[in-house]
Structure 1
Amino acid sequence: MYKNALPFWKKFNDTELEQTKLNWQSFIKTIPDYPHGNYSGYGIVTSTSANSGYIGTFQRTLAQIKLLRWLNCQLPIEIYSFSDELNETEVFILETVSDVQVKFIDQVVDNESRNLSRYAIKPNAIIQSRFEHVLWLDSDNIPIKDPTYLFHTQHYKKSTAMFWPDFWIGSSMSPIWRVLDLECRQEDYEQESGQILIDKKKAWKPLNLAVHFNRDPVIQNIWLGDKDTFRLAWKVLKVPFHFVRKFLAIGGFLYTRIDRNGTRLPGINFCGHTMIQHDHKGDIIFLHSNAIKYNPNIKYPVELNSRISKPNPWKIYRRYSNTHAYFRPQVIQDSFAFCTYLPTGESGHYPPIFETDMHTLVSPNITEKYVEFGGLVLEERKRKPNETEIEVVDSI
């Protein structure tokens, strides 16, 4: 993943990196004490927009909160946006769902952060929310059960936060380790921040440091996003957290290609578009469908066995049979698809692949409801000359 980043990382000089280190070290001395009385209770926090350039974000958020209520989740929900990204009608539509409030990021934060990185909305929304205990969900994250129980697990209650793994481990070549004065441990996976569980009272200082990391231009240029700013803020301050150890799976479909003449080309491939995350016991809980939006013209077939009566992009569940510190999932991006897959081979670095029908593990009622609520939003575009088309297939 990081091969292409090496020339980019080398552009940072020693003076720049040292100043960035001094900046965060000075910042932690200014973090105020936890404001007792400002926060209380448990809730879900997410974000949305209608005109940020990300097609379908509003529709995905609406489908997500409707699905949560369909799953009988009673947690209050706060939805954050920058000040100019929702109109009154869109706010009204979101707030028709029970116990949902739409809020806007504070103007000072809005002006300081959004031009640097729109990911900065995440830690700022978590701090600004009225809840003491927060479950953050990205707008394209699909819960498959009521997630309330996560707050009551011993793994959360005895810690300060619960984080989930990404596909990747950090690169020892990254300048971030010099900036943060941390060791790059090859056994540590990076964090995937599509879902975060945080006790703000216990984690007040690292949460504020994560906000700073998302406002620092050098750190943002190294990281290109928010995802690992939380885990490393906790590590810098030596604050304990629970890290889900089960390696995530991939949800996707099998496909072949069709040329301009309508001829099916040889070969069946797997396209993964959803990061499947598990809870502390290893049970599936979240379908973080972060790549579906990058596959605009794929026509997903209706299930032939009629278990689901809507177009279904979630056909295959695939993961390695065990967790290993040297996995290297790969991403394929061409003009027509954005797919993640798990390499296989003779090497001991690649254990056997476990694969099954997605809906033997996740009820088809859940993904069908999500689609019914409008969560599957695809941006159509014209095919380029000589471009092949993807055809989703049911089997090899």
Structure 2
Amino acid sequence: MNIFLYRLKRAFHKRGTVLVVLLIVLGLFAYQLVVVPQGTGTIAQQRVGEEHQQHGQSQQAEVAAGDGETVPFYKMNRGKAHGGEQHQDQQPHGKQAGQQVYEAEKEQEQQKQQLRESQQQQQPQGEKQAQVDTLTGLKNSRLKELLLMDSETFGRRAAAAQKFYNAVFDIFLKGKPSIGKLNKYKTEDRIYHAGYDGPSEIVFTEEYLRGFLQLSGDEVSSLKQSHATVVENLPKSAPGGIYKGNGIVYVGGGKFNWLALLSIKSLRSLGSTLPVEVVIPSEDEYEIDLCTRIFPALDAKCILLPHALGDTATSKFQFKGYQYKALAIMVSSFENVLLLDSDNIPAHAPDYLFENEPFKSSGLITWPDFWRRATSPMFYEIANIEVTNERVRFGYDDRDKDLEEVSFHDRKGTIPDPTSESGQLMISKRTHSRELLLALYYNLYGPDYYYPLLSQGSDGEGDKETFLAATVALGSPSYQVKKFLNAFGHFNLEHDFVGCGMGQYDPVEDYNLELSKKRREQLSKDLDQDLPPLAKDPRILFVHANFPKLNPVTLKEEGKVFESNGERLRLYGPGMAKRVGYDFELIQWRNMHFLVCELKIELSAFNGQDYSTVCKEILDQLDHLERTVKDNERD
């Protein structure tokens, strides 16, 4: 195009500049008409963004149907959601409208599917494989183009970041443990499954915790030397220019892409304007349409982990599972990060967390898990952490004050009880870059060494303890939310509680309430009289919908949204509106409807089912949730 304009200018140079300018303008206009619609970028993103905005405005709206009954917004487009249209004169009214459209289209779709299957059966196996290879090649080719464009755009930052990662990974290799796996236990018994907020038959004393994972003196000395090598060589800070601003980070990929999308949709509906980065662990898990069209429309960006790390760093370690969280924080472009599990959905916009206490002064915020801490006392020897006999904590709600035996993790120098729940984590790479890198070291050598040391085979072994452990090891500040988590779920027909998720509380409100409690305690001492305790609790800020995950396909396949008698149920039971402030479950299924039925998004998480099939399940569950709205308003 530039060559064409240049030649045009030369040809008409003697005719005057006015004619040239007119021709250039006409040429650019024609170029826009021809080229831009072929892409999947700006125009497609605007369409998704506009539909998202319209959905946010109409989500609460209801319209009157032909029979006079009030119908939720999503039912009015039930036929349209499946791609069907009817003549106005033939369109049925009331409750049966959407269902009749759906049944007719379902029959047509079944006929089409039978025809496709028949054609596939007649197709030679070699041709089928050739088609698969062609599609795979096209995807890989397109992905390479996108990564090349990304490299050209962020080249200098990427080069500086990869140089930094390479240097850090070299330090980790120098500190590689030189002993065998830690798998020797004193007996076959494991640590008692003790909830932090309940009575415990056993006090987790130092003596008790030394009765499980066993290390020899030589093994402790060897690990201590490896640990010291890493700590002594960790850079004090990251290079300037590779991190800036505040943002939210998810680990996506495969089935987690859908969950991250649902969480991001909720963020935007709540009014959050924080930028988002979704780290994709491998090329196989990178979904091009999602990363180039859908996520950008929601101000979210995919980061392909191997591409971000670079070939040199990637070749030094094999990554998997729990290691991705620390890696995701490291490769994200944000200086201050709110890390969310893909199945963690904010109940309110979290933007203000970065600008308030306790994050401003602590630089790291963790949230509690259900269990008492089971970290081996030998970890403190290996990490060169001094633990004294001074008692500085007294258990949940200070209920252990009168116990003669002292829980090991109530002593000064230890990681505080309870264990951490890493479905959400806040960290500043300006103040806690060394802590982040040490946590990454713990995770890279976690399965064989640091996970056993930090959890001794107890519940929830994995990355969740590494961030706070690294911060304590380096003597840095942190804030652990004091308000204990809320267990979400429902009671089934057999009156058994079925847990479905966790509610985690607002750290800003938690921090301010803790200050108020301390002032009240001091006032009580000054007045020499007992004052009534504060009754207020912080609000729930995050819903970690971890089991089962909110995937409409797997929820139906596994029967999670059905009672034993076949009737549909609310996963989160009654009272959720009072706990969170609105009908959380209904809103999530409405968001599913928007993404699947209106935008017609199809992802690998749906196990090959097309959007119309998934949409049918979403509509059926929405019908049930609408009918039971009043149940959600009671306790």
Above 0.5 in TM-score? yes
Report SS of the residue matched to 2:500: strand
Distance 1:7 1:60 in 2: 40
Q: Label 1:109 to 1:213 Cα distance change in 2 as closer, same or farther (>3 A).
A: farther
Report SS of the residue matched to 1:193: coil
Structure 1 residue 314 corresponds to structure 2 residue 572: yes
Structure 1 residue 162 corresponds to structure 2 residue 365: yes
Structure 2 residue corresponding to 1:74, chosen from 251, 273, 276: 273
Residue type at the aligned position of 1:136: L
Q: Label 1:18 to 1:164 Cα distance change in 2 as closer, same or farther (>3 A).
A: same
Deviation larger for 237-246 or 92-101 = 92-101
Residue type at the aligned position of 1:235: V
Q: How large is the RMSD of aligned CA atoms in angstroms? A: 3.2
Distance 1:311 1:160 in 2: 41
CA shift for structure 1 position 275: 1.4
Distance 1:229 1:373 in 2: 34
Report SS of the residue matched to 1:103: strand
What does residue 126 of structure 1 align with?
329
Distance 1:75 1:167 in 2: 29
Structure 1 residue 200 corresponds to structure 2 residue 429: yes
Deviation larger for 132-141 or 286-295 = 286-295
What does residue 284 of structure 1 align with?
540
CA shift for structure 1 position 111: 5.0
Contact 2:366 2:424 in 1 (8 A): yes
Number of corresponding residues: 319
Contact 1:113 1:120 in 2 (8 A): no
What's the CA shift string for 1:151-202, capped at 9, x where partnerless?
1112111121111111112126564344334444146212111111111101
What does residue 98 of structure 1 align with?
298
Report SS of the residue matched to 2:257: helix
CA shift for structure 1 position 300: 4.5
Contact 1:209 1:233 in 2 (8 A): yes
Distance 1:94 1:47 in 2: 17
Contact 1:9 1:174 in 2 (8 A): no
Q: Label 1:188 to 1:135 Cα distance change in 2 as closer, same or farther (>3 A).
A: same
What pairs up with 1:1-396 in 2 under 5 angstroms?
Answer: 2-3=191-192, 10=213, 12-34=215-237, 35-50=239-254, 56-84=255-283, 85-92=285-292, 94-105=294-305, 106-107=309-310, 110=314, 112-115=316-319, 117-171=320-374, 173=376, 175-182=378-385, 183=387, 184-186=408-410, 188-216=417-445, 217-222=448-453, 223=455, 224-256=461-493, 267-280=494-507, 281=509, 282-293=538-549, 296-300=558-562, 312-315=570-573, 357-374=575-592
Q: Label 1:79 to 1:8 Cα distance change in 2 as closer, same or farther (>3 A).
A: farther
Q: Label 1:73 to 1:232 Cα distance change in 2 as closer, same or farther (>3 A).
A: same
Distance 1:273 1:139 in 2: 15
Distance 1:8 1:81 in 2: 40
What's the CA shift string for 1:304-359, capped at 9, x where partnerless?
xxxxxx9631125xxxxxxxxxxxxxxxxxxxxxxxxxxxxxxxxxxxxxxxx222
More strand by share: 1
Contact 1:49 1:82 in 2 (8 A): yes
Distance 1:235 1:7 in 2: 20
Residue type at the aligned position of 1:33: K
CA shift for structure 1 position 21: 2.4
What's the CA shift string for 1:60-103, capped at 9, x where partnerless?
11101111111110000000011232232342354243211100
Residue type at the aligned position of 2:500: H
CA shift for structure 1 position 369: 2.6
Q: Label 1:358 to 1:114 Cα distance change in 2 as closer, same or farther (>3 A).
A: farther
Distance 1:82 1:33 in 2: 27
Distance 1:25 1:236 in 2: 11
Distance 2:469 2:341 in 1: 19
Q: Label 1:203 to 1:269 Cα distance change in 2 as closer, same or farther (>3 A).
A: same
Q: Label 1:173 to 1:131 Cα distance change in 2 as closer, same or farther (>3 A).
A: closer
Contact 2:504 2:541 in 1 (8 A): yes
Q: Label 1:91 to 1:134 Cα distance change in 2 as closer, same or farther (>3 A).
A: same
Q: TM-score, normalised by structure 1?
A: 0.72
Report SS of the residue matched to 2:371: strand
What does residue 335 of structure 1 align with?
none
Residue type at the aligned position of 1:2: I
Residue type at the aligned position of 1:98: L
Q: Label 1:170 to 1:37 Cα distance change in 2 as closer, same or farther (>3 A).
A: same
CA shift for structure 1 position 23: 1.5
% of aligned pairs identical? 27
CA shift for structure 1 position 364: 4.0
Runs of 4+ in structure 1 deviating by more than 6 angstroms, as ranges, are 375-379, 393-396
Report SS of the residue matched to 2:419: strand
CA shift for structure 1 position 125: 1.2
CA shift for structure 1 position 11: 5.6
Q: Label 1:47 to 1:173 Cα distance change in 2 as closer, same or farther (>3 A).
A: closer
Residue type at the aligned position of 1:210: A
Deviation larger for 89-98 or 192-201 = 89-98
Distance 1:63 1:20 in 2: 42
CA shift for structure 1 position 378: 9.6
Q: Label 1:144 to 1:45 Cα distance change in 2 as closer, same or farther (>3 A).
A: same
Residue type at the aligned position of 2:298: S
Contact 1:234 1:241 in 2 (8 A): yes
CA shift for structure 1 position 27: 0.5
Q: Label 1:15 to 1:97 Cα distance change in 2 as closer, same or farther (>3 A).
A: farther
CA shift for structure 1 position 220: 3.2
Work out which structure has the larger RCO, using CA pairs closer than 8 Å and 6 or more positions apart in sequence.
1
More helix by share: 2
Give the greater-gyration-radius structure (CA).
2
Deviation larger for 152-161 or 289-298 = 289-298
Q: Label 1:31 to 1:88 Cα distance change in 2 as closer, same or farther (>3 A).
A: same
CA shift for structure 1 position 237: 0.5
Report SS of the residue matched to 1:252: strand
CA shift for structure 1 position 203: 0.8
CA shift for structure 1 position 269: 1.4
